[in-house]
Structure 1
Amino acid sequence: MRLNHLNLTVSDVKATIDFIVKYFGMEVRHTRGNGFAVLLDDGGLVLTLMKGDQVTYPSTFHIGFIQESEDRVNEIYQLMKDDGLSVNPPQRSHAWTFYVQAPGGFTVEVLC
């Protein structure tokens, strides 16, 4: 068994779609106005995004995008930095990793 569906409530569905597609390559399968979207990855994950008026996740809540190499983590970090996102450089922790705030109101970990 594997987890293959996640629904996130986000403050801005369109901005969240743009972020996830640009940096992580997920495919938009369906949208319904500015309030709902279905995204798919190449491993079978179905990520749905739903618009919420008050989005508050616990400070430790995050989702992760595992990359194939440290070089890929570094590339995504540099792209985000070049795009003006507030990101600290990757560091060695439980993995080669960094965290970034997604525009929808949640944290994303990029790791290898």
Structure 2
Amino acid sequence: MKLRHLNLTVDDVEASRKFLETYFDMKWVGGNGKGFAVMFDDDQFVLTLMKGMNVQYPKTFHVGFPQESREKVDDINKRLKTDGYEVDAPIESHGYTFYVQAPGEFTVEVIKRNG
């Protein structure tokens, strides 16, 4: 069994959508842009974004985007920094990883898993 769909409630659907398109190659396939968006990844995982007010996920909540190499993690980290996002350098933890606060008030982990 695989998880194939996730809905995130976000403060700003359009900004969240553009962030996911720009840095994680998600494809926007429908919705009205401001209140609802449907996105797919290359494996046909469905991510929906819904507009909410004062969204507050638990402190440890995050969505992860595994990468195929440490270099790809470094590349995404560098692009985010260049574009003005506050991100720490990747570290060795449960893989080579870093976290970033995405527009829409949710956290994203970028990771190259060990092994």
Q: Say yes or no: TM over 0.5.
A: yes
When the two chains are superposed, the root-mean-square deviation of aligned CA atoms in Å is 0.6
Contact 2:70 2:96 survives alignment (8 Å):
yes
User: Which 4+ residue blocks in structure 1 deviate beyond 4 angstroms?
Assistant: none
SS in structure 1 opposite 2:86? coil
Query: Which whole-Å CA distance do the structure 1 matches of 2:33 and 2:86 have between them?
Result: 29
**1: distance between equivalents of 2:88 and 2:37?**
29
Tell me, which stretches of 5 or more residues in structure 1 are unaligned? none
TM-score, normalisation: structure 2: 0.96
Whether 1:68 and 2:76 are equivalent positions in the alignment is no
% same residue: 55
Q: Count residues with an aligned counterpart.
A: 112
Q: How does 1:10-89 map to 2 (within 5 A)?
A: 10-89=10-89
Residue 33 of structure 1: how far off its partner (Å)? 4.2
Q: Which residue of 2 aligns with 1:7?
A: 7
- List aligned pairs for 1:82-101, cutoff 5 A: 82-101=82-101
Deviations 1:20-70 (A, max 9, x none): 000000100002141000000001210000000120100000000000100
